Amino acid sequence: MRVAAIYDIHGNLPALEAVLRDIRTAEVDLVVVGGDVVPGPMPRETLACLLDLNIPVQFIRGNGEAAVLAEMTGSESNVPEQFREGVRWNAQQLDSEHERLLASWPKTLHVDIPRLGEVLFCHATPLSDTEIFTRLTPEDRLRPIFAGINVPVVICGHTHMQFDRMLGGVRVVNAGSVGMPYGKAGAYWLLLEPAINLRHTRHDLGRAAERIRNTNYPQAQEFAVHLTQPQSENEMLELFSKTELKSSH
């Protein structure tokens, strides 16, 4: 059984299309979408692309979906001010059917993969869709979070940077981000076949940035710049070290 894990697409349809070309070449049996399909510049188109796949697909909900749902339902949200306009715009692009869809996605997913065993997919940590940790977070701080989950492998995302590390007896792998990566530009995902392979897909960043700028997304220009000139991994590791194991959007 071959499984592709794609996380943190953030409405970046051009990046998703490039990754899906690689996924089809890999002839996977299942695609797991690990949250934060939205918000982003092309939310309706990105959701439609995933729902139209001719490959079995399962979704989990990330903090991005939670924020958009809160906006759609008028619920209280703790989204930081700098992200609220984009979240509000995404909520306006979606309809009641999208709302039901996003609300139906679970927060975690278990998939039994031969020779890997039971794999737990979550967005940030098994306990939270917003907690931050990286490849540098000390193990003693993470041990309580991953204690007692009784699976050999956890796949996560949220911080938009790939890693593969052991926490006690649990292998924890971050899929990276399809749509808003840090570090080297491109699109990141995982292929579990059942060996776990950290994948990087190159695509036409200039063309992708142009497509994004041509949307009505209120932060389209900033998004396009990030796509072609992402912040470095070292810069983000330093930033995240100040907010480790605290909520982040």
Cβ(7)–Cβ(35) below 8 Å: yes
pLDDT at 82 over 90: no
- Residue-averaged pLDDT of the chain: 95
Scanning the chain, the segments in alpha helix (DSSP H) are 13-26, 43-51, 63-73, 81-93, 96-104, 139-146, 205-213, 220-228, 233-241
Q: Compute the average pLDDT of residues 103-132.
A: 97
Confidence at residue 5, expressed as pLDDT on a 0 to 100 scale: 98
pLDDT at 39 over 90: yes
Q: Give the other-Cβ count within 10 Å of 216's Cβ.
A: 8
CA proximity to 140, closest of 161, 168, 120: 168
For residue 247, what pLDDT band results from cuts at 50, 70 and 90?
low
- 3-class state of residue 185 by DSSP: coil
Q: Say whether pLDDT at 246 is over 70.
A: no
- For residue 75, pLDDT over 60 is answered with yes
Q: How far is the C-alpha of 100 from the C-alpha of 53, rounded, in Å?
A: 19
In the chain, what are the domains?
A: 3-106+174-241 (3.60.21.10)
Decide the pairing of beta strands 117-122 and 108-113.
Answer: antiparallel
Please give the pLDDT value at position 76: 77
- pTM for this predicted structure: 0.96
Instruction: Please report which confidence band the pLDDT of residue 81 belongs to, taking 50, 70 and 90 as the band edges.
Output: confident
Q: Are strands 187-192 and 170-174 parallel, antiparallel or unpaired?
A: unpaired
Please check whether residue 1 is in contact with residue 114, taking contact to mean a CB–CB distance below 8 angstroms.
Answer: yes
Give CA–CA dist 47/49, Å, rounded: 5
